[in-house]
Structure 1
Amino acid sequence: MTSRMRSWLRPVVPLLVGYSIFGLLVEAAVPRFLPENSLTTFVGEAAKAGVFAIWLYLIWRIAGTLQGIYGAGSARYLERTPIWRILMDVTAAYILAAFCFAVLYVYLVRHDANAFSTELNLGNAIYFSIVSMTTTGYGDISPRSGWAKFVVCLQIMFGFLYNVLFFSIFAGLAGQRRSN
């Protein structure tokens, strides 16, 4: 990627994430705290589009990190990229993925109130997303509908593979740096 594109993306991504969170909070506040009108509907729908863009960004960042670590120029990538930077990218992608799955759960509940064993607002969905992605699974919230079960299975597989893949890489990197 060119440095020009990187410099353009650097301020856009945090703005997109912030706007998406704001839009989802606005949507969650309707109709309890805010009136439902064209502005609140637009903000909520635009936030969902923002979350989709975040998904694309996540896929792009994860693919870039994998290419850097396993690709043809991996030695150069690992020499010029500090471990803290790789760790920060991987952690940020993990947190964003948990948030995006939470938004997906809220979206499922809005279309099917019985998709989960309890009503999911954004806060409960974030909790459930983290518990699912870490494969902790307390059992206080469970999926009921077919789509909800499918998405939860995807998240569990994503979380497991992400943990195995990236955190084993860090163990290897730490051992490699220590031996040098």
Structure 2
Amino acid sequence: MDRDPGNGRRAIVLAAVRSLLAAGVLITAYYLLPLDSAFTVGTVIALISGLTAVALILFWQVRVIMSSPRPLLRAVESVSTALPLFLLLFAAVFYLLDHSAPESFSEPLSRSDALYFTMTVFSTVGFGDITPVSEPARLLITGQMAVDLVLIGVAARVLVGAVQEGVRQRNRAAGDGENGPFAA
């Protein structure tokens, strides 16, 4: 096992840079991609496909986390990629819904408004300044809330389990058990 503190700091910095870059690329794509199509069944299929991709990314990352020499850092990187993708998928769908059916929300949504609304729903803050008005909008929001709970509960548990298993494997390989379950 590598005990060089400089190497540990370097790994943390690289993980932070990769995480910021991944989130930055996703946010940039959200603002630059042409979101000018109508909200259709294809939009719902794209959302479901995107959510499936997020789930597959997370479950693929479990294997990567368990075999990583720094499982906690890999788990942070995994979440920092999957979570923005998840939130931006919903923001894009809400933006498209608003532009196809302006009566869907209490006020018109820009891309930033759609992202803000998605974040308030995800964080359960719910300021109430933007609210779903139409039945399709309320159903989508209800779906997001349900998936939010699954993402928070299941994904968090799976990732923590992967980190713990990765630490166990690393400690067995190194021949020591002195590091806790959240060793970087």
Shared fold by TM > 0.5? Answer: yes
Q: TM-score, normalised by structure 1?
A: 0.61
Equivalent residues of 2:106, 2:133 under 8 A apart: yes
Which residues in structure 2 correspond to 1:23-34 (within 5 Å)? 23-24=33-34
- Alignment counterpart, residue 65 of structure 1, candidates 55, 58, 66: 58
Structure 2 residue aligned with 1:79 = 67
Q: Distance in 1 between matches of 2:148 and 2:33?
A: 26
Root-mean-square deviation over aligned CA pairs: 3.7
Q: Per-residue displacement from partner, 1:114-165 (whole Å, max 9, x unpaired)?
A: 1011111111110000111122212111101011001111111111111112
Q: CA deviation at 1:99?
A: 1.0
Query: How far 1:166 moved relative to its partner?
Result: 2.2
Q: Which runs of 5+ in 2 are unaligned?
A: 1-23, 168-179
Deviation of 1:77 (Å): 6.0
Task: For 1:114 and 1:57, locate their aligned partners in 2 and report how far apart those are by CA, in whole Å.
Answer: 25
In 2, Cα distance between the equivalents of 1:54 and 1:116? 19
Say which of 69, 78, 83 aligns to 1:94. Answer: 83
Give me the whole-angstrom Cα distance separating, in 2, the residues matched to 1:61 and 1:125.
20
Which consecutive segments of 4 or more residues in structure 1 shift more than 4 A? 14-20, 52-55, 170-176
Over 3 Å counting, the alpha-carbon distance change for 1:80 and 1:154 in structure 2 is same
Gaps of 5+ in 1: 1-13, 28-43
User: Of the candidates 113, 120, 130, which is equivalent to residue 131 of structure 1?
Assistant: 120
Give the TM-score, by structure 2 length: 0.60
Q: State the distance in 2 between where 1:77 and 1:98 align.
A: 22
Instruction: Work out whether 1:22 is the aligned partner of 2:32.
Output: yes
Is 1:120 the equivalent of 2:130? no
Using the TM superposition, give the Cα deviation of residue 175 of structure 1 relative to its aligned residue in structure 2, in angstroms. Answer: 5.5
Distance 1:19 1:68 in 2: 22
Instruction: Using the TM superposition, give the Cα deviation of residue 110 of structure 1 relative to its aligned residue in structure 2, in angstroms.
Output: 1.0
1:152 corresponds to: 141
Q: 2: CA distance between counterparts of 1:167 and 1:65?
A: 10
C-alpha distance in 1 between matches for 2:31 and 2:69: 30
Structure 1 vs Structure 2: percent identity of aligned residues? 19
Give the 3 Å change call, closer, same or farther, for CA 77–118 of structure 1 in structure 2.
closer
SS of equivalent to 2:140: helix
1:162 maps to 2:155: no
Is the 2:104–2:137 Cα contact (8 Å) retained in structure 1? yes
Structure 2 Cα separation of the partners of residues 63 and 81 of structure 1: 22
Give the superposition deviation at 1:62.
2.0
Quick check: 2:30–2:92 contact (8 Å CA) kept in 1? no
